[in-house]
Amino acid sequence: MKIIRFLYRQMNLNTTGKHRARIRKTLIHSLRILTEKKSGPEWDESLSGGNLLWFQNKCRPLDDYTSEQKQVVFDTIVPPKQITNMSRVKTKRRQYKAKIQNAIKVERIHGHDDAADLLWDLIGISDDVHIKESKLAALEMMVMNRHKQRIEMIKTFIKAHNKLIDSRPNKNATYVQEGILKIPHRWQVGSDIVSPQDFIDFTKAFLTHHFPNYPIHALVVHTDEREKKELTGAHCHYFLSGQETVFGNWDLLKTQVEVVNQYQREKNKRLAAVAEATGEVSAKTNIEDEEAAGADSEGEAEEELLPENCILTLEQSAIHGERFQRMFFDFVNDNLLNDKGLNAEIAPESERKSEERKILNRDAKKTKSERPYNYATRSIELKEKRLAHIQNQIVEQHQELENVQLNIDRQKIQGQQELDAIQVAKDSLTNDVKQLETEIENKLETKFVNYLSELCSAIYARTKALNTGNDALAAKFAKNIVTKIHGASTPELEQACIQVLNIAGDDVLLNEYDSSNDTSPNEASPEVV
């Protein structure tokens, strides 16, 4: 069972100018009557299709009512204007009543007994009962002496009589009670859980159960005082007559005290029965003890009833309000919320006595447009929250972008450092390669020189052998020379050797070399040093 809060407030409005102006403002708001004077948006017109109006036992969408029909509802609830010169109206009614009494005698003299009887019934109507038009219509059908003058006299009497009947009650008496029932937004109970029709049915059931003799003027449910994406915020306004229908008394507040007393009386009986069944002694809490205990009392002990005359002190009025709330919460839980998995609880004393709650309670006496926290200000607040959220997201994204840029810059620096290191390594390797090439070239040059030097020595030795006539030795030297040329480590060295042969001009060696190109060097004779 989900625990929630349920707002129930009522305002008792009398016929003073101040309260009459408040009723007018409230009805203009509740019936969505458009006026030129608007301090700010009080609802979202695009969501008005969900609003309901219950009037004269019919429930219809509020948008279905024309301006003229809304005006009828408006006029039904607003107190009539104060009658000016009421004493004159009373005098006129008394004077014309006397004239009708004289007319009765005249009509009987002329034998118009039926007309005389109807006239007698007319003046016999109580001063607090409205005279119906059917009475006048019946007399218009009668035969009377000086008929036209008689009918005008009767009309004047009925008009004065009904004007006094329709006049407002004592200015201190409650003319109409305005109430509001709402589950605050923060409890996240949307219209998909408690529908607008649920509000209508429950409110009507609550009022007719506890105050059956006090007519309900109208019930209005609003679903358009919210954001488009929300389902929460639906609430019901009711307008209850302060006049009971049995005796015509304007005594709603007195009846409410009696109803709350009856509620407490039944509760005391249940507590006494439980105490008797458990063998415990039921302690009775008097008014002073209850005031001292505070509003968080769970009502475990019997409580003293409020004065039967219903004239309450300020402290007793506070207790009456607390008990009324308990009575309401019991009813709303049993007849609406519990079946939906919800349970409304009265806020703890610390919450009710907080400065925020005190401000809300004071503002509750103002019309919607006059309250510092209403639909317009809530919409602004939600928009500011969304704007702040978007700004925070922008800041966070900007920070993320800065972090990404820092990472990119860091990676750039790291990459450049790696490139620089690679370049240094490359340069170093290039130098090493060059140095190695130089060393190799130097080594190769030395080896070439030594190789050619050895070749030249062999050619010289062959030439010397030829000059001394040692042809056999010269032939051996020739084979060794050819073998050495073929044993050159590189083609370049071999070419250098051939050039040396050409320079030496030894045709025999050249021919020997040419003829030995097809012969493997391994088949040559061993070198003779």
Token pair in block for residue 352:
């009710």
H/E stretch holding 220 reads strand 216-222
Pick the more confident residue, 504 or 110.
Answer: 110
* pLDDT for position 496: 83
Could you tell me if 179 and 10 are in contact, meaning their C-beta atoms sit under 8 angstroms apart? Answer: yes
Strand partners for 517: none
CA distance 125 to 330: 44
Strand partners for 238: 179, 219
Please say if the pLDDT value at position 467 is more than 90: no
Query: Going by DSSP bridges, is the β-strand pair 302-303/235-241 parallel, antiparallel, or unpaired?
Result: unpaired
CA distance 220 to 291: 36
Residues whose CB is less than 8 angstroms from the CB of residue 40 and which lie 6 or more positions away in sequence, other chains included: 369, 376
Please say if the pLDDT value at position 299 is more than 80: no
Could you tell me if 238 and 199 are in contact, meaning their C-beta atoms sit under 8 angstroms apart? Answer: no
Query: Going by DSSP bridges, is the β-strand pair 58-61/52-55 parallel, antiparallel, or unpaired?
Result: antiparallel
Pick the more confident residue, 444 or 254.
Answer: 254
336 DSSP assignment: I
H/E stretch holding 344 reads strand 342-344
* pLDDT for position 6: 94
H/E stretch holding 267 reads helix 252-278
CA distance 194 to 234: 9
Please say if the pLDDT value at position 416 is more than 80: yes
Over the stretch 13-71, which tens digit does the pLDDT of each residue have? 998 889 999 999 999 999 999 876 666 677 888 888 999 999 999 999 999 999 999 99
Domains of the chain: 2-79+171-275+306-365 (3.30.930), 86-163 (no CATH), 377-517 (no CATH)
Could you tell me if 275 and 281 are in contact, meaning their C-beta atoms sit under 8 angstroms apart? Answer: yes
Q: How much is the pTM?
A: 0.59
Residues whose CB is less than 8 angstroms from the CB of residue 38 and which lie 6 or more positions away in sequence, other chains included: 369
Could you tell me if 340 and 193 are in contact, meaning their C-beta atoms sit under 8 angstroms apart? Answer: yes
Over the stretch 475-497, which tens digit does the pLDDT of each residue have? 888 888 888 888 887 888 888 88
